Structure 1
């Protein structure tokens, strides 16, 4: 564990806070290494329905470049470092439960990689985004590049990666990098409002939708046995019965 990553739970919503303000929440090796176990903790907690990822002041200025001399010297060391980062990003991206990134301030490099691993991204008006391997002589991984292309399309992915330039929140919204932009003082309220709404919905539907979207993004075009099993699970679930009953009784559904 690391003091710079904090996991808190309140009711059905868990919050993962990146807390290293002296370094604008730059992620060091210890933090990257600790993240998968924290995500597994969220996954294993049946009471948690949504994870919010946020930073203390800034979201994250990316990987701690000050460590590169020690941890990325030579191709073999660089590959080991990249695998640690990749494992952390994949843990977040493949969490079965919905994830929301609440992005304020800098969201750069590896920080943007973490935000892209989340299902939804809500930004403050002062947020700044950038992916900067072209400024460091690094090639971004295929899976992380795919996350970017899936979000903004190939044309903007090329511009972001080729230039390493920072984007303001308005541009990020326009190109689909974020879902919503709000004044800084409203950011967390809106992120948790979305989390609460999502947590209140039928989880068989929410998680089924997340899985099917994941399959679509990975090239699946037809139903298969796994997708049909998701359909069957929904129609035989207590949530389906409650949803229909609530509709007929003209009341809000109560999904336990």
Structure 2
């Protein structure tokens, strides 16, 4: 009785005009006449080389390991591909709450890129991607410790890893569904929102939302654009400004989730069904639609990685940000010590 299915299809996400994305809405002037194929080529060209990422080779698995292998692998990112369905499952398990460190984000990005390579032309390769968590949270986002007291030097690799993670999901031609069975907060919500669809567990203890402002951190431009794409203009205005953290039912109403279910089995079944349906759609047509629908996020992210790093540093280094984030971090540490 608790299971609810949203009728929001992928193509119902709002698509704004090029003029809007190119205006000062996101603080960056971009030529509105830029062609879609140029966007795709430019952003793919900035992806890190897969063969230069030893982290992926050492810590994740793209084959189909036995249940024993999957359980014994101690990596933070594990990928299993079902040879029968072609659905690859990317499991996040950076205990305890999948905090987004530089290394963890780099692993996730490399895994998504590896799975995407050659699609849809590689026989036996992944045909769709399911993102799930093995931890108590889907992801709690960036660790505030990495923000509080950050230097320009220490923030750069974190910013670059975040950018590569976002681009990996934005540019993958694979259909993607997030299985959200734990809290998805700030950057954790971003990962879920970057997927084509999101299915959640109706757990009263879970919270989902872009909570950056609630801890004193101004959202980057791409987060604002992503919020508008998924939540709509009014929803983004409401929830991003407030830093709202919502229950699964409220997250469904807001648009963070496309469906919620009362139990894990139903969540998994629905996620698999959605991936199967998405994978049946002609790949080129579906991928082209995805790139067009996400164009405002591309533009807000920008083509220049140094400019993105500079934007992140400007946001983080502001004394008001440091004071607010530092205070929140100290409060969290006090609560942790009191347990």
> TM-score, normalised to structure 2's length?
0.58
Aligned mates of 1:189, 1:149 — CA distance in 2: 29
Cα RMSD over matched residues?
2.1
Please report how far the alpha carbon of residue 79 of structure 1 lies from its aligned counterpart in structure 2 after TM superposition: 4.8
> How many matched pairs?
213
Q: 2:285 aligns with which of 199, 205, 208?
A: 208
Give the SS at the match of 2:268.
helix
- 1:100 is matched with which residue? 177
Runs of 4 or more, structure 1, over 6 Å off, are: none
Please report how far the alpha carbon of residue 217 of structure 1 lies from its aligned counterpart in structure 2 after TM superposition: 4.4
Pair 1:198 & 2:198 matched: no
- 1:6 is matched with which residue? 78
Aligned mates of 1:146, 1:54 — CA distance in 2: 24
Please report how far the alpha carbon of residue 80 of structure 1 lies from its aligned counterpart in structure 2 after TM superposition: 4.3
Please report how far the alpha carbon of residue 212 of structure 1 lies from its aligned counterpart in structure 2 after TM superposition: 2.0
Write out aligned runs for 1:203-242 (5 A): 205-218=282-295
Q: 2:90 aligns with which of 16, 29, 41?
A: 16
Aligned mates of 1:60, 1:216 — CA distance in 2: 25
Aligned mates of 2:117, 2:294 — CA distance in 1: 25
- 1:180 is matched with which residue? 259
Aligned mates of 1:121, 1:167 — CA distance in 2: 15
Output one character per residue of 1:155-203: Cα deviation in whole Å (capped at 9) or x when no partner. 221222222221111122112221111113221122122223333x15x
Please report how far the alpha carbon of residue 66 of structure 1 lies from its aligned counterpart in structure 2 after TM superposition: 3.3
Aligned mates of 2:212, 2:272 — CA distance in 1: 32
> TM-score, normalised to structure 1's length?
0.76
Q: Are the structure 2 counterparts of residues 74 and 137 from structure 1 closer, same or farther at C-alpha, using a change threshold of 3 Å?
A: farther
Aligned mates of 2:234, 2:138 — CA distance in 1: 25
Output one character per residue of 1:19-44: Cα deviation in whole Å (capped at 9) or x when no partner. 1232x222222101222211111112
In structure 1, stretches of 5+ residues that fail to align are 220-256
Aligned mates of 1:160, 1:79 — CA distance in 2: 28
- 2:104 is matched with which residue? 31
Q: 1:54 aligns with which of 132, 137, 150?
A: 132
Pair 1:43 & 2:150 matched: no
Pair 1:146 & 2:229 matched: no
